[in-house]
């Protein structure tokens, strides 16, 4: 009885302490809804303010971080960001000062900074602030001529020397190019028009080219309208390219590849958006006899978390210049949309070298004409001096987690008697198709396996295993051909 009395007494005390309207279930729900509504309104106000900042309607410029002990501003060296004044000398003076001091940071402030090509230096950070734009002058007479790359023998488009890049560096260590999404614009349109009209005597230059360098970090910058390839690290080591945007028109912007790792080792490309007039990413290692003699492979490269669009070529390619070899490549978490091809490996007799140990994982193909392409007759050569008996080796390639919709041809793997494609694996593939032909998974001179169920039905050249590794069907032939589809 005493316990019951004390319990009732506590309930009465609780009712006196807590207002009665809070004890109403309906009122409590109303109160919770009101608090939630206030929180939502507050969140919306923050989101709208951020959107206005993004659109430039509310100005809250982000302060430029100090990433090096020594920091300079480009304007301190006489540069004028009006889009008209040529600021090459200002860039050169600033970078010379950084070189003398043993390293430093160069801030490019908001504005349009027109310049001819310039060279970076060791232990340097180039920081592009919000609304900063570096503009490459579109008069080729300002662009220096450089010797051909040793692994190419000639300029890629013309014999003899080649134009340098807008931003260039050789034999460098510890270089950072970053910012608050400022822009490096190559103003490539005049270059593209002159190239189509055959008015250029030399191979066009990239937007950014670093050669024989190491410890490179490129992030949080937009690159657009390159005259030629956009980012071209050549024979570099330990390179990170992260959170960049690379743009060029999808048509009438010839050879504007996004990123071309060329004879590079230990590289990561990630978290980026690329929409260009050629390959989004193209891994290379030299061209025919020149690449064989130079003998520098591209290896240990990871490409992940990219969104890519290419109406002319492919989202991610290997080759066709791969004569020094390409190996240990991982491509994962890739979305290719509204493009001609998803991924492509391209080579030919005369290349030599190898393409091996390639992993493709978690690829999404959305409205792509041909999903996966391996092509062994990509017959472009620097000159007649190549050896047609120098045959590349293609082996150990796996495709896991390939999905998407609106794909016309899911896979076209065309080896040849001289260059068979060996040890290919497909697993977990389901691609919505739009082309109602009998054989839409096309193969020739290919050896490999399918594991588990995949759609569409794989070609007869491949062995078929269940998920547990049990053989379900042995391939009937390795050399079935069912072409009948254009490049």
Q: Which two tokens stand for residue 454?
A: 């995949």
pLDDT in tens, 280-293: 999 999 999 999 99
- SS3 of the chain: the string is CHHHHHHHHHHHHHHHHCCHHHHCHHHHHHHHHHHHHHHHHHHHHHHHHHHHHHHCCCCCCCCCCCCCCCEEEHHHHCCCCEEEEECHHHHHHHHHHHHHCCCEEEEECCEEEEECCEECCCCEEEEECCCEEEEECCCHHHCCEECCCCCCCCCCCCCCCEECCCEEEECCEEEEEEECCEEEECCCHHHHHHHHCCCCCCECCCCEEEECCEEEEEECEEEECCCCCCEEEECCEEEEEECCEEECCCCCCCCCCCECCECCEEEEEEEEEEEECCCCEEEECCCHHHHHHHCCCEEEEEEEEEEEEECCCEEEEECCCCCCCEEEEEEEEEEEEEEEEEEEEECCCCCCCEEEEEEEEEEEEEEEEEEEEEECCCCCCCCCCCCCCCCCEEEEEEEEEEEEEEECEEEEEECCCCCCEEEEEEEEEEEEECCCCCCCEEEECEEEEEEEEEECCCCCCCEEECCCCCEEECCCCCCCCCCCCCC
90: nearest Cα among 76, 72, 71, 107: 76
Q: What is the arithmetic mean of pLDDT over 230-242? A: 98
Between 44 and 398, the more confident residue is: 398
Dihedral sign, Cα of residue 481, residue 446, residue 358, residue 292: negative
> What's the pLDDT tens digit per position in 365-414?
999 999 999 999 998 999 999 999 999 999 999 999 999 999 999 999 99
Q: What are phi and psi of 171, to 5 degrees?
A: 55, 45
CB atoms under 10 Å from CB of 6, counted, come to 9
- The Cα–Cα gap between 343 and 373 comes to 6
Q: Active site residue: 225, 257, 278, 288, which one?
A: 278
Residue-level pLDDT at 49: 42
**pLDDT band (50, 70, 90) for residue 102:** very high
The token duo for 1 is 């009885």
Q: Calculate ∠ Cα 256-262-268, nearest 5°.
A: 90
pLDDT band at 59 (very low <50, low <70, confident <90, very high): low
For position 433, what pLDDT does the model report? 84
Q: pLDDT at position 440, please?
A: 83
Q: Is the pLDDT of residue 34 over 50?
A: no
Range in 15-19, 63-67, 76-80 the model is least confident about: 15-19
Q: How many CB atoms are closer than 10 A to CB 172?
A: 21
Confidence of residue 477 (pLDDT cuts 50, 70, 90): confident
How far apart CA 44 and CA 49 sit, in angstroms, is: 8
383 assigned to active site: no
- Across the chain, mean pLDDT equals 89
pLDDT band at 28 (very low <50, low <70, confident <90, very high): very low
Q: Is the pLDDT of residue 437 over 70?
A: no
- The whole-number average pLDDT for the span 301-319 is 98
pLDDT of residue 17: 41
Whether the pLDDT of residue 45 is over 90: the answer is no
Q: What is the DSSP letter of 204?
A: P
Round to whole Å and give the CA distance between 397 and 420. 13
pLDDT at 61: 72
The CB density around residue 147, as the number of other CB atoms within 10 Å, is 9
Mean pLDDT over residues 348-377, rounded? 97
Q: What percent of the chain has pLDDT over 90?
A: 80
Please check the confidence at residue 485 and state whether its pLDDT lies above 70: no
Predicted pLDDT at 129 = 98
348, two tokens: 């030919």
**Residue whose C-alpha is closest to residue 202's, from 253, 147, 251, 151:** 147
Among 402, 404, 397, CA closest to 428: 402
**Confidence class for position 33, pLDDT limits 50, 70, 90:** very low
CB 379 within 8 A of CB 348: yes
Contacts of 412 (CB under 8 A, 6+ apart): 370, 372, 373, 374, 375, 442, 443, 485
pLDDT at 47 over 70: no
Integer Cα distance of 191 and 187 in angstroms: 8
Range 234-252 average pLDDT = 98
Confidence of residue 476 (pLDDT cuts 50, 70, 90): confident
Average pLDDT over residues 340-354: 98
CA distances from 283 to 269, 286, 288, 316, 415 (A): 11, 10, 15, 8, 20
Assess whether pLDDT exceeds 70 at residue 23.
no
The pLDDT of residue 74: 98
Instruction: Kindly state the average pLDDT of the residues 440-445.
Output: 90
pLDDT value, residue 247: 98
What confidence tens digit (pLDDT) does each residue in 116-175 have?
999 999 999 999 999 999 999 999 999 999 999 999 998 899 999 999 999 999 999 999
Helices (H), 60-183: 88-100
d(CA 347, CA 391): 9
Residue 480's pLDDT band (cuts 50, 70, 90) = low
Torsion angle, alpha carbons of 82, 88, 91, 93, to 10: -120
pLDDT of residue 14 exceeding 90? no
């Amino acid at each position: 009885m005493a316990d019951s009395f004390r319990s009732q007494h506590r309930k009465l005390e609780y009712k006196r302490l807590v207002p009665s309207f809070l004890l109403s279930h309906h009122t409590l729900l109303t109160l919770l809804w009101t608090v939630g509504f206030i929180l939502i309104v507050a969140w919306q106000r923050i989101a709208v303010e951020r959107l206005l900042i993004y659109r430039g309607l509310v100005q809250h410029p982000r302060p430029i971080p100090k990433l090096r002990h020594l920091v300079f501003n480009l304007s301190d060296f006489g540069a004028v960001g009006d889009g008209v004044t040529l600021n090459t000398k200002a860039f050169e003076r600033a970078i010379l000062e950084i070189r003398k001091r043993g390293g430093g940071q160069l801030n490019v402030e908001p504005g349009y900074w027109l310049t001819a090509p310039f060279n970076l230096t060791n232990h340097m950070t180039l920081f592009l602030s919000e609304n900063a734009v570096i503009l490459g002058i579109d008069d080729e007479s300002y662009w220096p001529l450089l010797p051909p790359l040793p692994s190419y023998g000639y300029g890629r488009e013309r014999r003899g020397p080649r134009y340098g890049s807008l931003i260039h560096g050789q034999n460098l260590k510890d270089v950072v190019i970053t910012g608050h999404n400022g822009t490096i614009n190559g103003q490539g349109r005049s270059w593209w028009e002159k190239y189509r009209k055959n008015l250029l005597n030399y191979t066009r230059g990239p937007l950014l080219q670093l050669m024989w360098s190491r410890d490179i970090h490129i992030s949080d910058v937009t690159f657009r309208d390159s005259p030629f390839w956009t980012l071209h690290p050549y024979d570099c080591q330990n390179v990170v390219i992260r959170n960049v945007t690379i743009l060029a028109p999808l048509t009438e912007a010839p050879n504007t590849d996004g990123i071309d790792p060329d004879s590079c080792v230990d590289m990561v490309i990630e978290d980026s958006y690329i929409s260009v007039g050629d390959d989004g990413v193209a891994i290379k290692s030299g061209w025919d006899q020149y690449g064989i003699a130079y003998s520098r492979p591209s290896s240990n490269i990871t490409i992940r978390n990219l969104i890519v669009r290419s109406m002319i070529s492919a989202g991610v390619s290997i080759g066709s210049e791969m004569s020094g070899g390409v190996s240990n490549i991982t491509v994962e978490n890739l979305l290719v949309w509204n493009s001609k091809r998803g991924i492509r490996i391209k080579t030919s007799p005369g290349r030599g070298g190898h393409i091996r140990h390639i992993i493709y994982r978690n690829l999404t193909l959305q409205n792509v004409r041909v999903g996966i392409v391996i092509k062994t007759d990509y017959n472009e050569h620097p000159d007649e001096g190549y050896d047609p008996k120098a045959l590349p080796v293609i082996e150990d390639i796996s495709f896991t987690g390939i999905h998407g919709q609106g794909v016309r041809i899911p896979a076209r793997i065309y080896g040849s008697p001289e260059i068979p494609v060996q040890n290919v694996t497909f697993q977990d593939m389901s691609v919505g198709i739009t082309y109602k032909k009998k054989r839409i998974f096309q193969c020739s001179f290919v050896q490999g396996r399918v594991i588990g169920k995949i759609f569409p039905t794989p070609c007869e050249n491949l062995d078929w295993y269940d998920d547990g590794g049990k053989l379900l069907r042995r391939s009937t032939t390795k050399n079935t051909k069912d072409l009948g589809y254009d490049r």
